[in-house]
Amino acid sequence: MTHRRFGLPAIVVFLPALLAAQTPATRGLLPVPQHVEWRSGRIALDTTFRIALVRVDPRLSAGAARFLDRLEHRSGVPLSHVIGRDTASATLVIDARRTGTAVPALEEDESYTLESSKDGIVLRSGTTVGALRGLETLLQLTEAGDHGWSVPAVRIEDAPRFAWRGLLLDVGRHFEPVEVIERTLDGMALVKLNVFHWHLSDDQGFRAESRRFPRLTRFGSDGQFYTQAQIREVVAYAGDRGIRVIPEFDMPGHATSWFAGYPQYASLRGKYSVQRQFGVHSAVFDPTSETVYRFLDLFVGEMAPLFPDRYWHIGGDEVEDAQWNASRHIRAFRRKHKLPDNRALQAYFNRRLATILRKHGKQMVGWDETLHPDLPKGTVVQSWRGPGFLLDAVHQGHPALLSAGYYLDHIDLAEDHYRVDPLPSDSGLSAEQRALVLGGEACMWSEHVGPETVESRIWPRLGAVAERLWSARSVTDVDDFYRRLAITSSGLEQLGIEQGAHPASMARRIAAPTDLPVVTGLLDLVQPATFGQRVRLQHTSQLTPLVRLIDAARPDPPARRVWKDVAMRVAHDPQDNGLAADSLRIAFQQWQRFSPAIESAASRSPLVDDGISAARTLGQLGVLGDDALARLLKGDKPDSVWTAAAKAQLDLARQPQGLLRLVVVDAVEVIVDAVKGSRPTT
């Protein structure tokens, strides 16, 4: 068994042709700037490269130093790390007119202009954060050529479309160490995201140290939590990169971990412990208790200085009201205060909580279940159940964020996220209402990720959300996006985010060394089951080891688009695409060899069992594809029996194969459709 039999050798020759076409308007830039004017010429990057700052600012100086480190690491060119003030002799002059706010803020000016010519590069911005965004663009502009590394002559005028561009990371269900958080922040800065939404509590864990209430982590964290010193470190690390940190402490539901140490604040008294099962649980704060509000006042008062951002997320989603219905005193409270239902009771809780937050200088953010006629004005509503809730929020005068369509844990394709716009052209909103749409956040919920796997689930697909929230609405070319995303993925790996190497890394633990080629070859052609499929098929809990092939597989592997593109070319004109047809034929024959090889590997490594079903179905696809391709090249029209059997086989192949999904079904379908007489239009 050799690697050539189970890798992707069939496209090694053909792949350069797929990637050769460039789009000069965007090159390797992601997100696409608002305005780009390419000019003739370029400036070489060599050992004479120097940076000068018009105004000295510690945060900008640190950002410029990081830029030099990354540029040197990328190019291999030894660079001077002295950042001076002599603009006359500098290669790159950075002119940030103001430092901006001490703490990154929603109103931060992130605009910049970048102009390069053979004489030098000038980066101008209104604030330090704008200059940091421009440095990321400049790094993306650097390219290698026949004469070494250089920056093309260009003028860029850029600013974000939305002010709030975020990533939620859930560390309640599975804890993530500080080094993972900081690498995530580095990646966010690369794609110009500016809000890190830190989901710090849930039924499965409470992750922030409270010195006033130490039982929160003593009984609610399994010993996995962030000390206050670590929280300050993360907030400072983010701030240096122009990223805001917004904490979320979920309440009144998703609150079991609060009550593990302080059961007296639950609606029903009893003994609580952190939940190992995922889902919606019954433990919920008692909204009628003045003791609860005194507790929350003290807790917020302790936490508020650790999180200097103006906004504070209360959660408020998926409140299970069984305890409220079961409590005699809560039912009596509702009657006394003329609260018609439990939604009104939750609105009462939110009003009380908003008052506490305002006392400590915070503005409330909540999930769309918090939306209610009595919700305090100014509360930001985050829509996760659908874009309609965002529209409802702005119609009621609330600032709003979109997360529906940006759930990375659902294992959707990057292009699925890319097509979701917080403000589509047909939104029907007035100018005043459109101004209330602050932006959006991608969400990485952690039922199915841990420190080893989380980065492979966030990246590189988060780049799709980043571009949608920064670039103009008109930037919608999916093919060009994927081309640039591959370049961005390489940049992420230079930051230490090894999402590209993740499948092979996990495969080395799953499979015997002699079986690695076949296992990694299979991983090239599959993606994980969706979130819902995994829950149903595996019945996961917090104790489920995340070490299987589903955890090694990538959500959106390149083979999906590559093989479909090859098939489209063949289907469009079989006679003029002989190399593509040969590539397909070799691939179809390779796929037929996977099943016995995976079964053999599974006899030595039990975790490979998860690939048997996928390998068998892949082999059947290979047989179908080989037959369809031969018919297409011969001009042999199939009968209705063959057509019906092919459709049934394709439908079956689209279903989960164990915990994996095949990504090459579309490629085979294109050839099958072509045999039936349907030619692709592009």
Q: What is the pLDDT of residues 96-105, one digit of tens each?
A: 999 988 889 9
Query: What is the Cα–Cα distance from 640 to 646, expressed in whole angstroms?
Result: 10
Active site members: 318
How many CA within 13 A on the CB side of residue 77? 19
Q: What is the mean pLDDT of the chain?
A: 95
Model pLDDT, residue 335? 97
Q: What percent of the chain has pLDDT over 90?
A: 93
- pLDDT above 90 (res 577): no
* HSE toward the beta carbon, residue 582, CA cutoff 13 A: 10
Residue 173 predicted with pLDDT over 60: yes
Confidence of residue 545 (pLDDT cuts 50, 70, 90): very high
Q: Taking 90 as the threshold, does the pLDDT of residue 15 lie above it?
A: no
Taking residues 79-95, report their average pLDDT. 95
Taking the whole predicted model, whether its pTM rises above 0.85 is answered as yes
Q: Is the pLDDT of residue 121 over 90?
A: yes
Chain segment 594-631, per-residue pLDDT in tens: 999 999 999 999 999 999 999 999 999 999 999 999 99
Average pLDDT for residues 87-112, to the nearest whole number?
94
Band of pLDDT at residue 11, cut at 50, 70 and 90: very low
The pLDDT, as a whole number, for residue 16 is 43
At residue 6, the pLDDT reads 59
The count of other CB atoms within 10 Å of the CB of residue 321 is: 18
Q: What is the pLDDT of residue 81?
A: 94
What's the helix, strand, coil split of the chain in %, to 5?
45, 15, 40
Q: What's the rounded mean pLDDT across residues 646-660?
A: 97
Q: pLDDT tier at 574 (50, 70, 90 boundaries)?
A: confident
Tell me: pLDDT of 131 over 60: yes
Whether pLDDT at 530 is above 90 = yes
pLDDT digits (tens, 9 = 90+) for 358-388: 999 999 999 999 999 999 999 999 999 999 9
Six token digits for residue 337:
């205060």
Q: How far is CA 216 from CA 224, 263, 533, in A?
A: 11, 10, 33
For residue 5, the model assigns a pLDDT of 56
pLDDT tens for residues 387-420? 999 999 999 999 999 999 999 999 999 999 999 9
DSSP for residue 423? S
Residue 14 confidence (pLDDT) above 80: no
Helical (H) or strand (E) element with 387: helix 387-395
- Alpha helices, DSSP H only, in 191-310? 215-220, 228-240, 256-261, 290-303
Distance (Å, whole) CA 397 – CA 26: 37
The answer to whether 516 touches 605, Cβ cutoff 8 Å, is no
Q: Which residues pair with 416 in a beta bridge?
A: none
Mean pLDDT, rounded, for 245-268: 98
pLDDT at 681: 62
> Would the pLDDT of 675 be above 60?
yes
Q: In the structure, what pLDDT confidence band is assigned to residue 682 with cuts at 50, 70 and 90?
A: low
The string over 460-488, giving b where at least 16 C-beta atoms fall within 10 Å of a residue's C-beta and e elsewhere, is: bbbbbbbbbbbbeeebeeeebbbbbbbeb
Distance CA 277, CA 542 (A): 6
Q: Are 478 and 204 in contact (CB under 8 A)?
A: no
